[in-house]
Amino acid sequence: MSAPLNSAVDRFLGYLRVERRYSPSTLANYARALRRLSAHAERLGLQRWSDLRSAQLQTLLAELHRGGLAPASLGLFLSSCRSFFRYLARDGEVKVNPAVGVRSPKILRKLPKVLDADEMGALLEFPTDDAEAVHDRAMLELLYSSGLRVAEIVSLCWRDLDTAEGMLRVTGKGSKTRIVPVGRQAMQALEALRTQEGGGDDDHILRGRNGRPLSTNGVRTRLKRRARDQGVWKRVYPHLLRHSCASHLLESSGDLRAVQELLGHADIGTTQIYTHLDFQHLARVYDSAHPRAKRRKD
């Protein structure tokens, strides 16, 4: 590849890593897309990115489609290209974004799978008669209560939890911070965990047996084992609890904007996938909407 092409890609990835603070997995997706784009530019004999035309990019997209790349992956590839050329246009290296106007195959959006309230109860209601059960109960309750991504929950420290207000500060995609509520039962499970394990404000909430922060794979493994032990035979994974939280809240409240804010979606169109469910009734506050956050009557 020519030096100018390679240099531009490296600078863009550095910009995403340092200035935008993208996660390693997101950076890997961008790098993979730009490797494909760069290989295509090299085959065409291009020396500068400003020489790439929309028709040439459309040809590459067609080749990837014929090669079996799924529509969703093609959409991500094209989105990466658009972002890359916007960056180059900002720096004056290209005048026209060749990815604008290029169309990828339509993505058939699947409805999210969820656990119903009874299945969630079966998953979460296990005895906390040993240290591991106390830990896992807090982990599962918090995933479901606040609709967290697995990468978000493993990064949480005790300083992020406001026990007085029942609120949690979460750092999500792109290092964006949001404040989310924590339900009553999740708060109780977290209090039991801290009583058991201690830990200062700077310590991670979820830790493994070695005392180190629990990994995302550790969360998945523990959740899968708990589901099996509780007789929940669906495929259970962290994002399923996030989907279930969103769907149950939307069923109860009908407040799409509130669910968008809870989940940290930048685009409300992402949240609208949950609107396939019938709304049961309207509710104005989190405690009256979330199945495991409702206050007990005195």
Residues with catalytic function: 149, 173, 239, 242, 265, 274
Residues forming beta bridges with residue 169, ordered by sequence position: 179
Q: What are phi and psi of 101, to 5 degrees?
A: 95, -15
Helix axis angle, 54-66 to 71-90, nearest 10°: 160
For residue 138, report the phi and psi dihedrals to the nearest 5 degrees: -65, -40
Return d(Cα 271, Cα 282) in angstroms, integer.
18
Q: Is 40 helix (H, G, I), strand (E, B) or coil?
A: helix
Q: Which amino acid does the sequence have at 40?
A: H
- Written as six digits, the tokens of 110 are 């699947």
Instruction: Evaluate whether 184 touches 292 at the Cβ level (below 8 Å).
Output: yes
Q: Determine how many CB atoms are found less than 10 A away from the CB of residue 269.
A: 9
